[in-house]
Amino acid sequence: MGGNKQLYSSVPVKDQTCEDQKKSEPPKGLGCRHLQTLLLFISLTIGYTMRSQLSVSLVAMTNPNISQFNYCNKTEGNVTFHVSTHNLSVVITEDNVTISDNNQEDCKDEESLGKWNVFKTYDWDKPTQEMILFAFFVGYMSMGIPAGILAQKYGGKLPILIALSVNGIVSIVSPWVPIYSGWVGMCVCRLLQGCTQAAFFPSIHTILGKWAPLSERGRLSTYIYTGSQFGTVLIFQVSGLLAGSPTLGWPSIFWFCGVLSMLSFGLYYCLGSASPHEHPTITREELMFIIGDGSADVKKRKTPWKNILSSPAVWGLVTAHSGSAIGYIMVLTQIPTYMSKVLGVDIKRNEVYSSLPYIAMYSMSLISGYICDKCVTKNIMSIANIRRTANSIGMVLPSLILIGFGFVSSTPIAVTTLVLCLGLHSGVHVGFHINHIDLSPNFAGPIMALSNMFANLTSLLVPVLVSFIIKNDVTNQSRWRLVFIVIALFQILTNVIFVVFVKGKVQPWNFHEDEEMEKDDDKLVLGKTNKIVTKEVRNSTEKEQ
């Protein structure tokens, strides 16, 4: 019946596995849990569009071609040589050299746009641009743990709403910010966006811990987290069109992302729910299915950091997260440079080449989530072995492919190899990436915040490693091979650590406050003697009396 709720206070303090857990049949058709999955997918997609769009819009807003030349191509005389580029036209005559902008009929320099015109471009050098890009990750990493604590205390919905609203407002006003405050203002904008977006992963994990039944955990989680790939591919295509439009220009990229973020905020505010117990229209049947197939409850619990930080299983997944991040960042940030300088292919300018790896990762994530859940429902493997197998496929095989990539000289083979590398890497989505929920559905958010912080810190080693080995010789393929080998070995090592320490059962500290209360009840202080006896001894004494 729609609208009926089930009162629920606690669940049995018992580890759940696919072998000993009592299975309940899922309700037929789509339910509220599927709607929540769609809303979280949309929210994460929008988040990644704003995270990724600056790599395109920054190129457009710092184009120096117009502002460097102040004369037009109104030249008469015999033309002896004519060179035309994407933005500029160079005409060499007998008398002089003329350089003009191909996109404008009349000569327009930076001054003709007006000092306060939002469409003006800026003469920011490469280090300044890198600082603007890096500001996002400063905020993202600094707020990782606090975001996890907020998600645990207030539920996952509120931090996501804050992230969407702040990112939307900041994105809409961003084109006007550098007019008044220059590149420093843009750094502040990106810092704010990074700080609030740090809440996405911990909040989504917090919500998944309450909404995702064990038998559907793989599918629901991969449906949501593929939003990162979908958002990246989407904004690369759209931002290129918007930036190249003579009517809209680069500010329209910020406005497009900002409007989408505010629409997503309104959608999630109206239809989203932090837990199934708070949803106003969930059916009793679906609620009982989620409760019976999960280990989360509605009780507000204090995060047991001591238990979390002393758990080998937690540190195993943190290690795997770091290894996965360093491999993914390597492919995302350094492979385009390798293909351009070594193979002679500008993959960033080729829409097909740049999108194929992410499309492969998106598709394979959905497939791996489905296979994972089938293994759970059919009792083919234990949860721990499913995580071991999926994570090994997602980290070991791409590592071996990455090593082979360094010996490839053919462009089609290189692109195919890159597609396989990221496609197989999607296995981590049903490996370490949801193991946080396996260990503790009640504290999946703080654990994700911890592992995500370490992963992002570790990924900073990628440019350092590349600079140390490659130095200035970016065309040296043998040096690139050494980089690939080091990254691959690191991924394999971190996966081995995860395989050794992984656990698929709910840990006792998932209900740690209940255990503490039981311990207190099992002890009795007798008068002034300060003696402590157990409840069983007390009951035995009472019977004798």
**DSSP 8-state class, residue 354:** H
Q: Where does 330-382 have alpha helices with state H?
A: 335-341, 351-377
- d(Cα 108, Cα 66) in Å, to the nearest integer? 7
Which element (helix H / strand E) includes 224?
Answer: helix 217-225
Confidence class for position 228, pLDDT limits 50, 70, 90: confident
- Complete domains list, the chain, with CATH: 36-67+113-296 (1.20.1250.20), 79-108 (no CATH), 301-506 (1.20.1250.20), 519-544 (no CATH)
- State pTM to two decimals: 0.77
Residues 273, 48 contacting (CB under 8 angstroms): no
Query: Which DSSP symbol is given to 347?
Result: T
Whole-number average pLDDT of the chain = 78
Q: How far is residue 182's CA from residue 131's CA, in Å, rounded to a whole number?
A: 13
Q: Are 451 and 326 in contact (CB under 8 A)?
A: no
Q: Please give the share of the chain, as a percent, with pLDDT higher than 90.
A: 30
Quick: pLDDT tens for 397-406.
Answer: 999 999 998 8
Tokens 């609208």 belong to residue: 3
Which own/partner contact pairs does 128-133 have at CB distance under 8 Å and 24+ positions apart?
128/183, 129/58, 129/62, 131/183, 131/187, 132/54, 132/58, 132/183, 132/186, 132/187, 132/190, 133/54, 133/55, 133/58, 133/190
Predicted local distance difference test score (pLDDT) of residue 68: 35
pLDDT in tens, 230-256: 888 888 778 878 877 777 888 889 999
The residue length of the chain stands at: 545
> How do beta strands 97-101 and 523-526 pair?
unpaired
* Highest mean pLDDT pick, 212-216, 319-323, 347-351, 477-481: 319-323
